[in-house]
Structure 1
């Protein structure tokens, strides 16, 4: 049977890259995409003529419920903090039967791990706590209510618990996502890209606190491979994947310290002539939480560490793309081009580490 698929976030960074992979791997699948912008919808159809556009947004609850009711697999790769779309998906999935279950694959994020830093207002310190999705599964399913994304995850988890025969759920929780996207509309991410952009605007390197805080990382193209593996498992009736209470997948390919990223951005920006020196300046609390850097503590000052065991062990997911540090030159060039910044005349000695 050819599966019917409904996807949200198809014009975004992660969702767009995944749609590219899905269309290349399974052009025979029947795919519908929720798109609110008619211009973006036209671009999507131009690239993928067989796709069916569902005109609406994440607040179109009745529309989403109806779509989910009539498909086999749902990929929710849009706003992971939108409770309305999660509830609509859960309601639509409840219409399914045991002989034709609904497979719901929801994209969350490991900002859910930063609650200790947010509670204590710490920035740049290293925390050793590391989550995993194998023997640490119960901890992931029961994160505190003040954790980021937790309210939406609870809706997805509850839907899978309501009737495990009719509703099969999986949560994919990526950490820092980076790398060139292959989607039609958006090809860049946020965390490291916004930091590079701010460095270029300030004309100097910046670091948050001690810079010892650690995040896990995943290249967007490796992440898309994981979504595809889960989709293929769903189309095969579950495959080797686990679902419901065992359907929580971290997705990482190692970790990095934000201080190393900050210094690498400054070094590369200097060597390329965008800023006059590779030195980095430590931001104080006022600058960190100021108007222009309100998300600084969340994105660049916190810790989010997790180990992906489940996808590797069950699905043979093997991330192979470059690390975040290896992608820094391309990120700096891309942000400079976006800002229209031309190289400065910089003596090479100033860029020595």
Structure 2
């Protein structure tokens, strides 16, 4: 029998790209996709005619519980890092529908925004990262599993981690950083952070730098994110990997990254390119109080490489800036 995959977020940027790559590599899988309503589902159904669509919001616990119970693997990407009701429903459904002999697997999208907790708690914006603000997902797993409750996404992470208390549930948490590049999903193909900076720059005539401009993040192309999800799903079907507590279970916490950037450097790259494309008079930057770009998120993606052999291959963030600027200009009607 073909593996049954229940995926949320098919209309989203990450979920849409993950579904694209999963279906490309494994068209033989049975896909059940949660979408909000029939209207939202039309482009999804057109792109994936063999998939089964179920309709409901992330608050429709009975729908999510039923599908989680029936699935072999749940891939949760729809507001997954912050939506408590859907996480509780998935945990409940997986526990009800699976046993220790036949577990259900939950691949859960979080994000490295969780690593900003120290700067946010201490209102330490714009500063360079402290040495202890760098988290290796193998060496620092105990620290990662004990972040304070104030940390972004932590409330949902705790629900996912606790789901492993059921003998029929095994989880894997994925934490990507700044994601860039064109999505391949049927609806949203646009990221958030870099497009937000480009949009701000086009509209205000300068790129924003939160002073003093020393904050750092990791970054990763969306196609490399999706390739990891494919490998994670494949691992959930491989007994040699499902039995490894370093892959599935509380320790199965995977950061993803393929580089580090200072947000001030990204602002300069953006300003240069926006000016080059004739959208602002000159490549200007300006210090602006935008905490969105002011907290540090530094991770080391050791676990994915060691245990799944994941290797990012897509173009760099800097190389993607010209395409992203052209896309935003067209979206804003400036091209």
Question: TM-score by structure 1 length?
Answer: 0.91
Using the alignment, how far apart are the partners of 2:250 and 2:300 within structure 1? 18
Using the alignment, how far apart are the partners of 1:40 and 1:24 within structure 2? 22
Map of 1:317 onto structure 2? 310
Equivalent in 215, 218, 226 of residue 216 of structure 1: 218
Tell me if 1:28 matches 2:28: yes
Instruction: Name which of structure 1's ranges 255-264 and 114-123 shifts more when overlaid on structure 2.
Output: 114-123
Q: How big is the shift at 1:229?
A: 0.3
Q: How big is the shift at 1:116?
A: 1.7
Using the alignment, how far apart are the partners of 1:53 and 1:228 within structure 2? 20
Using the alignment, how far apart are the partners of 2:63 and 2:208 within structure 1? 45
C-alpha distance 326-255 of structure 1, shift in aligned 2 (>3 A): same
Instruction: Name which of structure 1's ranges 331-340 and 239-248 shifts more when overlaid on structure 2.
Output: 239-248
- 1:33-48, aligned counterparts within 5 Å? 33-48=33-48
Map of 1:60 onto structure 2? 60
Q: 2:205 touches 2:284 (CA, 8 Å); kept in 1?
A: no
Using the alignment, how far apart are the partners of 2:208 and 2:66 within structure 1? 48
Using the alignment, how far apart are the partners of 2:52 and 2:240 within structure 1? 25
Q: How big is the shift at 1:166?
A: 1.2
- 1:115-134, aligned counterparts within 5 Å? 115-128=117-130, 129-134=133-138
Map of 2:248 onto structure 1? 243
TM-superposition CA deviations, 1:131-168 (whole Å, max 9, x none): 011111111111110000000000000001x13x4111
Q: Whose Rg is larger?
A: 1
Tell me if 1:339 matches 2:312: no
RMSD value, Cα: 1.2
Map of 1:255 onto structure 2? 260
Map of 1:159 onto structure 2? 163
Using the alignment, how far apart are the partners of 2:176 and 2:320 within structure 1? 18
Map of 2:269 onto structure 1? 264
Unpaired runs of 5+ in structure 2? none
Using the alignment, how far apart are the partners of 2:174 and 2:144 within structure 1? 11
- 1:168-179, aligned counterparts within 5 Å? 168-179=170-181
Q: How big is the shift at 1:78?
A: 1.0
Q: How big is the shift at 1:118?
A: 1.1
Instruction: Name which of structure 1's ranges 197-206 and 50-59 shifts more when overlaid on structure 2.
Output: 197-206
Aligned residues: 328
Using the alignment, how far apart are the partners of 2:104 and 2:72 within structure 1? 5
TM-superposition CA deviations, 1:239-271 (whole Å, max 9, x none): 276111221000011111000000110011111
TM-superposition CA deviations, 1:267-309 (whole Å, max 9, x none): 11111110011121111xxxx3xxxxxxx31x31110000000
Unpaired runs of 5+ in structure 1? 289-295, 343-353
Equivalent in 272, 276, 298 of residue 281 of structure 2: 276
